[in-house]
Amino acid sequence: MDELIQSLRDQRLIKTYIGSDGAEPFHVPQCILEATSDHFKKALAPDGSLDMAAPDTLSFADDSEEAWKVLLYWMFKHDLPDDEQRRTDDCEGWELLMVECWAMGNRYNIPKFQDLVMLELLDCLRKYTTFETDTIKQAFATTPAGCALRMVMAELVAGHLQDEIFDLGPENLREFEGYSGCLAEIDRAVKEWSGTSRRIVDEDARECCVMSVVEMVVASQQLHFKDQQGVPRWKKFMVAGGPEVHWVHQGPYKGFVKVKA
């Protein structure tokens, strides 16, 4: 505790430059950056692993300023901003931003941020059933093979290949050839999909409904889609076990609500 109190007395602001277009830097307290990620902590150490152009300066030329705005909000609020894009039907821009945020959290090892962003992406799928192809491509292009975000996108593409209602079919798979490991992940998801029953009975509504694999993940607490260890399937997409506050299905008329774990 003494170390924290002293850091508040000796507050050091770090000029944080994002992108390469000469935008004004963000002035971020060093203690906040260090508490967010060991990556930043090492970079700010006297023998830091990142080259600093000047003292008290960090530069992330390849990062998106919009994604950093979301990360900065999360650093201080531990939540995502209530952006207008989240409340519109045309939310492709928000989904792309969330993909950028998850990839950035993966680069800098910020698992709690990744989990909150992932929950937001799963909720977008719950509402809109699918992502645009550009959003799926962005996820594969900016993340490593085998990561949680790729697992979501591979399952989504597998669902597209099984359903005629989507525009994405087998003939479009060549669009993903340039992303390392992508086709193997999609192939694995297709095999898993064929072994998964997609028709489920909602006992409250007494009727059958069809859900995608990802929707099953989001609904898993209410609809009992769990792995062999009894863990809800949506948690397999979480890096740090899932955020403390998450979505739970409350029945056919109440829908999903945010609750504490």
Question: Which of 83-97, 118-132, 135-149, 180-194 bottoms out in mean pLDDT, i.e. has the lowest?
Answer: 83-97
| Owning domain of residue 222 | 95-260
Residues 246/258, Cβ–Cβ less than 8 Å: yes
Is residue 29 assigned to a domain? no
Is residue 197 assigned to a domain? yes
Cβ burial 68-94 (10 Å sphere, 16+ → b, else e): bbbbbebbeeeebeebeebeeeebeeb
Instruction: Give which of 142, 27, 247, 164 is closest to 153, Cα–Cα.
Output: 142
Is residue 248 assigned to a domain? yes
Residues 157/189, Cβ–Cβ less than 8 Å: yes
Q: Enumerate the β-bridge partners of residue 246.
A: 259
Is residue 8 assigned to a domain? no
Is residue 178 assigned to a domain? yes
Instruction: Please give the structure tokens belonging to residue 236.
Output: 């397999």
| Alpha-carbon gap, residue 150 to 155, rounded angstroms | 8
Q: Is the pLDDT of residue 47 over 90?
A: no
Q: What is the model's pTM?
A: 0.79
- Confidence class of residue 48 from pLDDT cuts 50, 70 and 90? low
pLDDT (average), residues 19-43: 90
Q: Is the pLDDT of residue 27 over 60?
A: yes
Q: Enumerate the β-bridge partners of residue 257.
A: 248
Q: Is the pLDDT of residue 38 over 80?
A: yes
pLDDT (average), residues 186-215: 52
Give pLDDT tens digits for 208-259: 333 444 444 444 444 344 555 666 667 788 898 777 665 555 554 445 555 5
Is residue 17 assigned to a domain? no
| Alpha-carbon gap, residue 236 to 244, rounded angstroms | 15
Domain count, the chain: 1
Give, as one character, the DSSP assignment of residue 25. P
